[in-house]
């Protein structure tokens, strides 16, 4: 996708993990998990990468090059929704939005989402503002594709004091991707495995090939 932005939300507290999840050592070379995710998505050739992070030492403890835009969460008490707003504000078009605690992310899924995002209506106008997968019938909003067009709706919800990450979805045109469609690319849905505790981190590492 031309002009694609990769937005990684690394602003969580990591309280249950006991250490910053973005810095978890990923095998075989123990590079920080955040570095692993950025590297993994290079196959999709994002035009820019944006990291949403409030941890002041995170930038110094990762090696992501000079082409990464680091942004603080301007609304730190508003959860991932605030991070999405911050990222979309510097995005020109479509953006991948993922959390930094998903070690098994599958870029092939986002390539499929990109094909869906390119769909147009009978007049040639874009059909969708967001491509959001459903797992167990729940929208995986931290593993989705959003167009900058969503920003005004996200901001309106934030201005109204709402913070649920899914709250703006009724306000935009969403193409939901059902599990059966997801499993064609990711049969075990490993891409959606997120780690919040040391036990979950160990389980994710055990799934590595």
Query: What string of DSSP letters covers 3-31?
Result: T-EEEEE-----TTTTS-GGGPEETTTTE
Please name every residue paired with 147 in a beta bridge, in sequence order, or none if there are none.
94
pTM over 0.85: yes
| DSSP secondary structure code for residue 170 in this structure | G
Report pLDDT for 75: 64
Overall average pLDDT of the 82-102 stretch: 95
Per-residue pLDDT tens for 110-122? 999 999 999 999 9
- Residue 67 structure tokens: 């082409």
């Amino acid at each position: 996708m031309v002009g694609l932005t990769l937005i990684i939300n690394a602003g969580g507290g990591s309280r249950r993990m006991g250490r910053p999840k973005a810095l978890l050592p990923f095998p075989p070379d123990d590079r920080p998990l955040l570095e692993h995710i950025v590297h993994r998505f290079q196959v999709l050739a994002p035009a820019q990468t944006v990291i949403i992070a409030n941890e002041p030492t995170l930038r110094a403890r990762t090696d992501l090059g000079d082409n990464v835009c680091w942004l603080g969460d301007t609304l730190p008490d508003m959860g991932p929704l605030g991070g999405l707003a911050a990222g979309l504000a510097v995005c020109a078009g479509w953006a991948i939005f993922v959390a930094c605690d998903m070690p098994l992310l599958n870029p092939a899924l986002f390539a499929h989402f990109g094909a869906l995002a390119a769909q147009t209506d009978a007049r040639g106008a874009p059909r969708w503002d967001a491509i959001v997968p459903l797992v167990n019938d729940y929208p995986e909003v931290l593993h989705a594709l959003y167009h900058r067009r969503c920003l005004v709706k996200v901001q309106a919800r934030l201005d109204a004091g709402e913070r649920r990450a899914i709250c703006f979805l009724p306000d935009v045109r969403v193409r939901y991707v059902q599990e059966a469609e997801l499993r064609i690319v990711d049969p075990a849905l490993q891409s959606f495995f997120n780690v919040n505790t040391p036990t979950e981190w160990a389980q994710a590492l055990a799934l590595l090939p």
